Structures are given as C-alpha cells and as structure tokens.
Structure 1
Amino acid sequence: MLGLLRAGDTVTVNCLSRLGRKTAHVIRLAAYFSKKGVGFVSLDLGIDPDTPAGRMVLRVFAALAEFERESNGKRRQADIELAKLQGKHMGRPSGVGGEKLRQRLR
C-alpha cells in the first residue's frame, strides 16, 4: 500500500490497531502520511493527525492499543497454561492411532 500512495490519497482504517502493532510504528506511519501529503482517518477515533492535538491523541491511543494487544496475549497464554495443568487437550483432536488403528486394520 505504501508504494501506491500519492499526495491527496487518504488511508482509512477501521480501527487504529489495524494500522500497526507497535506505538512507534503507528506514529512513524502517521508522520510518513503527513510528509507525503496523504490523509489518514481512523474510523473508531475520528482524529486528525495533522494537528498537534490530533498527534497527541494518536500517540495515546496507539499506546493503549499496543497495551491491549500485549495484555490479551498474556491472558491467552495464561489460559493455555491453566488448561494444560488441568489436563485439557489443546489443539486438534488426535487422529486414529493405537488401539483404534489396530481395530481398523483387522
């Protein structure tokens, strides 16, 4: 997408977290868009990153989105560890093996 952008284009994302995974990356992209004369709209926030207040809000929300992603990952990993400790099977069901295989080969 970045290679196709021209001055006057507008990049629109549904959610700020879809633009980038890290705060610094989102900020660099917003600066790049501004430098190229490309507009940027985040539908969930409706901010204008071409103003000082808009850039500040962009940084705050980008940091919050990064925090949320990292928190979700840690919670997901904790849930997986708990399930393993409880002896729950993780992943796809096991296929035919052992006794079931011997029965089918008879």
Structure 2
Amino acid sequence: MKNKILILTDKNRTSPIAWEKIGIVVDQLSELYQMAKESMIDLIIVDEMRTDLRPAVAIKLRRSNGLTDIWKVSADASEFDYHETHFDGSFSVELGNDGI
C-alpha cells in the first residue's frame, strides 16, 4: 500500500528534491486543507519558508487525520527549531531524493 504524502512548498523557491516523485505537491494552504479533509494523509512535509503552518493550522489538519505526521524540511540539518512543537520532526534537503 502506497502512503499518502502531501508536500507544502514555497512556489517561489527552487529545491534540489524532486518532490513530485515523493508525493502530491501543493503550494496553497487551502489545497492542503481540502486534500486532508477528503482523504487519509500519512505525512505532510512542509517547506521551511512556509510560515503559515502554525500550531492552530496543524491542529485543524489533524482533526480529520489524527495520525498524520507533519515534518518540516530545511536547507540545513542544524536549523530545526525545537520550540515548534506542532512539527513531529525535521529533516534536511541535504539528504537528497535517495535519503528521503
């Protein structure tokens, strides 16, 4: 069974990762909400430049998908902010497509 993965990207930023090979790419928060309401989502990956995914938004996303993990992707592995408790984890784009 293939996991359902959503990736919330910043459309103004280029990434070394081919996100389309990993999951469904969206650049609007409204698209993310709609897809999370319509189907079971296993993982949401959020670009570090997306500051609009705040704790209240994460709670709303998890209402219909209680077991969804939300991970933040950053340019550098050491940039994770441990005060952002609404993220379940973080990883760096330095991992590349094979590492992710």
Indicate whether the TM-score tops 0.5. no
Give the greater-gyration-radius structure (CA).
1
Please give the TM-score of this superposition, normalised by the length of structure 1: 0.28
Structure 1 or 2: more helix by fraction: 1
Structure 1 or 2: more strand by fraction: 2
